[in-house]
Amino acid sequence: MYRLVSCCHQTIPRFGHNFAQRNSLPILMIGKRAYTRYDLGRMGCPHTVSARELDKVLKQLSVNSIEDLVKHYSPEDFVGIKGFGVTAFYVLTCVLRDARINLKSFYSAKVTVDSLKTRVKKAEQRGSASRRAS
């Protein structure tokens, strides 16, 4: 059986361990900005697993702020990293849109993210093949 818990001025059923409290924990951190499940849902982006993957990628690249991300990185820098897929790119665009960043200044390619990933992989394969040949 479940208990009723009061949260956000309403009574909701309690599901499992601290269900209501998990919504207020940050999933994605970019510099001083923290995004919770609630924040992502408010932006129309319910992809929490991809948000965690994006968080790992941003930590791996040492991104300090959203402005730093837009200024120093391009989509090609992200798509070559394992764990960064189409849904993580969607989460990134949601975050940029929320920060009022012009998406065309960050991603102006006329191709899909999958095509971009394929191009980056082929370029990496050509680079590794040319290194082996020399």
Residue 105 within a domain: yes
Residue 53 within a domain: yes
Determine the residue type at 30: I
Q: Is 31 within 8 Å of 66 (Cβ atoms)?
A: yes
Residue 31 within a domain: yes
If one counts the domains in the chain, the total is 1
Predicted confidence at residue 130, as pLDDT, reads 63
Residue 46 within a domain: yes
Structural domain containing residue 90: 26-133
pLDDT digits (tens, 9 = 90+) for 20-64: 666 678 899 998 899 998 899 999 998 999 999 999 999 988 899
Residue 13 within a domain: no
Element at 54 (helix H, strand E): helix 48-60
Residue 7 within a domain: no
Integer-rounded Cα Rg, in Å, for the chain is 19
Residue 66 within a domain: yes
Residue 15 within a domain: no
In degrees to the nearest 10, what's the CA dihedral of 56, 57, 63, 65? -70
**Spatial distance between the Cα atoms of 51 and 116, rounded to a whole number of angstroms:** 20
pLDDT digits (tens, 9 = 90+) for 56-94: 999 988 899 998 888 888 888 888 888 788 899 899 999
CA 58 to chain centre: 8
